[in-house]
Amino acid sequence: MADCLKDKVGEVLLPGDVFSFESKPEKLICGPGLRRNGDEILVCKSGILRHKQPNMYWIDSQQRRYVPAKGESVIGIVTAKSGDVFKVDVGGSELASLSYLAFEGATKRNRPNVQVGDLVYSQFIIANKDMEPELVCIDSCGRANGMGVFGAGGLLFKVSLGLVRRLLAPQSEIVRDLEKMFPFEMVVGLNGRVWVKASSTQRALIVANLLESCENMTAQQRQALFRRVSDGAS
């Protein structure tokens, strides 16, 4: 079982592809795009099969629409205040709720200063298909840990979910190449939203355009492009 899956790691799989257990079932963790169906593993998304030791498998796909998942950090836009919660647009099929108490240091008296239209970097604590998704801006110790309202004077744009995951991967080559050009601030949410702030609007736009264009490029093409741009920018 694990062998036939392992053989396919790094290959493109399509929905409907099936792997069946040959011998006794082994312990296996199915990530996004894989489903356990009785004695079989069913692929339900198109993409590349990835593997992580010891027995984690998932499909790496280039999707655009975000589906909330527990524990993921996203960039949301506050769209309404209703009673004790803020309604936050995260790009999923419904608005997520964010309690005003879920900020560092917030109490019933000391409400956080959040306005409609603000950007919040926050984390899902409830996200499943049957319940309203819920966000928080604190970690399990009650610390902000980088989360909260942000985004004065920056630029927000959307890229594909696959690119976002590549940006957030440890030692991301794209980020390393970008950093070489000029200093800038960047916030990346797993829901495909990226916020960039640089010393000038022009530079922020350069970063945004570069990210959008390197979606479908090989490493060589990307480096060539970055070199051309940095020659022009400096």
Tokens of 190: 């797993």
The C-alpha atoms of residue 126 and residue 71 are separated, in whole angstroms, by: 8
Is residue 126 involved in binding another protein (CB under 8 A)? Answer: no
Between 14 and 116, name the residue whose CB sits nearer to another protein: 14
Please pick, from the candidates 8, 45, 50, 51, the single residue that binds another protein as defined by CB under 8 A: 45
Is residue 42 involved in binding another protein (CB under 8 A)? Answer: yes
Query: 180 to 209, contacts with another protein by CB under 8 A?
Result: none
Please pick, from the candidates 6, 36, 64, 143, the single residue that binds another protein as defined by CB under 8 A: 64
Query: 204 to 233, contacts with another protein by CB under 8 A?
Result: 216-218
Between 93 and 200, name the residue whose CB sits nearer to another protein: 93
Between 60 and 134, name the residue whose CB sits nearer to another protein: 60
Is residue 12 involved in binding another protein (CB under 8 A)? Answer: yes
Buried b (16+ CB within 10 A) or exposed e, 194-233: bbbbbeeeebbebbbebbeebeeeeeeebeeebeebbeee
The C-alpha atoms of residue 121 and residue 53 are separated, in whole angstroms, by: 30
Is residue 63 involved in binding another protein (CB under 8 A)? Answer: yes
DSSP secondary structure of 159-221: --HHHHHHHHSTT-HHHHHHHTT--EEEEE-TTSEEEEEESSHHHHHHHHHHHHHGGG--HHH
Least separation in angstroms between CB 118 and another protein: 21
Best CA proximity match to 204, nearest among 226, 186, 180: 186
Between 45 and 51, name the residue whose CB sits nearer to another protein: 45
Contacts to another protein by CB under 8 A: 10, 12, 14-16, 18, 33, 35, 42, 44-48, 60-65, 67, 92-94, 129-130, 162, 216-218
